[in-house]
Amino acid sequence: MIGNDIVDLRQTRIDSDWDRPRFLKKLFTSKELELINIQPSKALQEKLVWLLWTMKEATYKVVMHTEKRRFFAPKSFQCTLYAANDFKLETKKTTGQVTFKDQNFNITSELNQNYIYSYIGKNNVFNLINFVKGASAVQKSNITKMNIIKEFANQNNLTSSSYILRKNELGIPNIINLKNLKETPCSITHHGRFSGISF
């Protein structure tokens, strides 16, 4: 059970206008909207919007394993923050729960002025990559793939050449050991200047 999601806050300001009419209503449940609306500033609302969004996306990556289908239903993921009253601009870490159907997932998020990174999983490795300026989308994707294989190989005291990364038909990435063909599910997320890898 593993899933992660990152947003580059600078990139969200280029890509999205979360304040656009009806935008939030399509993404968030009434409970989540309530929490967003009571935030005292636009800056806090923005931070919360993207925090909740990454929580939903990370959970989607987990449930895809059991749902065995791809879908876009952000409101089917109900997010709760354990310390919603303490949510501030300076908040560096939050924990919460995401409910999908009858399943609850505990989720951790790391926040700063550059990114929000949310992840689900116990005893997993969660790493963050900060790309050099000007890296192309293809370069970023290759760097991320190389990194996850290298990290995984290090943990298992093998070399990177022992593994390949392959996506299954649902788009879920797996690390495959070329010797015994053992597959280990992993989760990869990119956005803007950052990517997150976990296994």
Partner 1 sequence: MTDKELITGLKKIVKPYIQNEAAFETMNADTHLIDDLKINSANLVDVVLDIEDEYDIEIEDDAFEDMLTVKAAMAVVSAKIAK
Residues forming the site for partner 1 (CB under 8 A): 7, 12, 15-16, 20, 22-23, 26-27, 53, 57, 70-75, 137, 171, 191
- Output the smallest distance, CB 25 to partner 1, in A: 10
State which residue, 26 or 179, has the beta carbon closest to partner 1: 26
d(CA 183, CA 104): 26
State which residue, 53 or 152, has the beta carbon closest to partner 1: 53
d(CA 3, CA 5): 7
Reduced to 3 states, what is the DSSP secondary structure of residue 180? Answer: coil
d(CA 87, CA 174): 35
Q: Please, are residues 112 and 9 in contact by the beta-carbon 8 Å criterion?
A: no
- Output the smallest distance, CB 86 to partner 1, in A: 26
Indicate the helix (H) or strand (E) that contains 26: helix 23-27
- Output the smallest distance, CB 142 to partner 1, in A: 16
- Output the smallest distance, CB 138 to partner 1, in A: 11
d(CA 93, CA 52): 13
- Output the smallest distance, CB 23 to partner 1, in A: 6
Q: How many residues does the chain have?
A: 199
Q: What are phi and psi of 156, to 5 degrees?
A: -100, 10
State which residue, 33 or 125, has the beta carbon closest to partner 1: 33
